[in-house]
Amino acid sequence: MTIEQFEPLHPGEFIKEVYLTPFDIGSNQLARELKLSNGLISRLINNIANVTPDIALRLSSVLGRSPESWLKMQDNYDLWEAKQHFNSGQFKLLQLA
């Protein structure tokens, strides 16, 4: 029996749902505060761009949460995505010892 893991939120979706929409903050304003391009922030909140260590530090400074939490959110999303296309049947566990 396998346990189905729910799809984690992409950090951009989280930013949109928790910060931008409820507080009526636009992506251009967020871009200015983060000192990043409008295009990059647009790609981030549309789940196209990923949170990098630099962006995590900026998000932490502007929105709060630790930089590690932003990176962990991105890692969780990336791992979930990879699992959707991974075929473990192609691999055999090494017998060590």
pTM for this prediction: 0.86
User: What number of residues does the chain have?
Assistant: 97
Res. 97: pLDDT tops 60: yes
- The separation between CA 60 and the C-alpha centre of its own chain, rounded to angstroms, equals 13
- The beta-carbon contacts of 35-44 under 8 Å, at least 24 apart in sequence, are 43/12, 44/11, 44/12, 44/15
pLDDT in tens, 22-81: 999 999 999 999 999 999 999 999 999 999 999 999 999 999 999 999 999 999 999 999
Look up residue 13 and give its DSSP letter: H
Q: Please give, one letter per residue, the 3-state secondary structure of 23-60.
A: HCCCHHHHHHHHCCCHHHHHHHHCCCCCCCHHHHHHHH
Alpha carbons 36 and 61: distance in angstroms, whole number: 13
Please tell me whether residue 8 adopts helix, strand or coil conformation.
coil
